[in-house]
Structure 1
Amino acid sequence: MLKLKKLTATLIGCLILHSGISQNVNGHWYGVGMLQTSLTYQNYLSEMVLQQKGKTVAGTLHYYFRDSLVKVKLSGVFDEGSRRLRIKPFPVIYYQSPSVENSIDCFVSGDFTLVASKTESVLAGTLSGDADHRYTVPSINFRLKRSNDTLDWVKVDEPEPKQDTVALAVATPPARQEVQTMEEFGKRTKVFTKELELTGPTLRLELYDNGQIDYDSVSLIFNDKLILPKTKLDHRAIRLTVQLDESLEFNELSMFAENLGMIPPNTAALIIYDGKTRYETFLSSDFSKNASIRIRRKKG
């Protein structure tokens, strides 16, 4: 009898826990699409933004192709019983296209399964070509994690994470590796790829490897000060907070290549949050140049 009571209590507890886990696909989903081909091509760093009403799902897919960000609308159906998300056919850029400007589209449809636990929610599935492209367009496998950070990051009253905050006013004794990084940084050419005018004064940064994980390691330098020592890039965000120096006409952010990985040069996707506005850019560095951007504080 005692064992039966314990079993009943355990089952009730499991039901309560299960009911507390989100069984919908609302939100921002981040991850990488892996092209299913034996040849080496750039994978797809992606964000899927979904809104669910009943069984109907609508939203957008943002993905990087070459060095450009592409946005496309999505629609589909989610079945809570099977936790299956089916996305209707939509266009994506053919993987062998040379660029976004000089590209052709092919239609794919999506079949995903929601795997939800107390710690994380994941959409795992595949984009597959339609009947006309089945034998010419490889499938793209995705594992997308739901992010609870995106909306929180734009809250004005959110406390700053201490481990990520860059206190530019406080000088810390640099390690030998950091001294070497700054010496090499000064020998390379800064190549400015973008200029932004932001409201600031505090910016949130996210840095990802934008393609196949090939063991790229980079450092970040802000206004000629090392803010991120040697760190390996992957598909998880490296997050930092920086304070703009208003005494400067421009603030400069540079990515320094610590190595060239397996597939030179070192490439990364940088996302900058300026309040509620999000900016995205592509960085490419090697042993001769530092990918850099200029940031100006908007006046008035």
Structure 2
Amino acid sequence: MRWLSLCIMLLLNIQASFSQNIEGKWLGKITQQPGGYSQLYDLEFDLSQRKNIWGESYAFEGDSIRIRIGLSGYIDKDSIRLNESLGWIREDKVPFTWIPCVKQFYLAYRKEGDFEYLEGRWTGFSKDDSRSPCYPGKVILSRSVEGLNKFLEDHRDSVVITEPLVTASVAAPVLDFTSDFLNTEPKKVTEIIVHQPELQIQLVDYMKVDNDTVSVYLNRNLLAKNIRISKRPALLNFRLDTRIEFHEVLLFAENLGLVPPNTSELILVDGENRHRVMIVSDKEKTAAVYLRYKPKKKS
């Protein structure tokens, strides 16, 4: 009899999970791991639900990025599966060098007091090449602005899933770039004077794509891990510690590709200025680019 009661309770729980209604508008945030175009976007869902789920997603960042894609999906026990469709791209406004991702969402519903949330992760692939995966990330959505603001306040230290680049302290940290790095010798490629603290690195393959993979370090702290170099630029946005004048960017070869050594082209975006640098790393030497921060004097 106890066994029968347990089975009935389990069946009721499964049915309850399937009966969850998520129809309507949701608003929130979507993050992307280092190596993607940006660390954080705004995200909205507009969903309809009967037996299955359909609607559209809308990811945006200011006025420069607006991506609206139709999606469909279903509820599987306590998981919500939603897939954008390549054929349902309704709005595609991104910078010239960017390519939107067609995303798959793996979400769970939960309720805290009066607030309802959809929370989980996403994966995806390039709109132009389904064989090219996007850097994944996390998703948080709420039915209300108040619920979203509460979540962001409660989780303000973990919403963006990237390594912190600057550790706040009163005194500027003392950096040492003279020692070896991960059993390799840092080899200076060039020194660049930069005027903006917010910078972007674009990494693309040099000549032939041969599966080169690198990790990028700023001042010996991990900036992005295992970036596969391809013809599609991998974009890294970061901020310099303005208390320090001299910074080091290391491109560590995780492999040597099909044709050694590990080669790539680095484009450093400093405001309106762009600096192109050819990068060569191997298992003995790690390419080092040094940045000298000199803010422009106010006129």
TM score, norm. by length of structure 2 = 0.47
TM score, norm. by length of structure 1 = 0.47
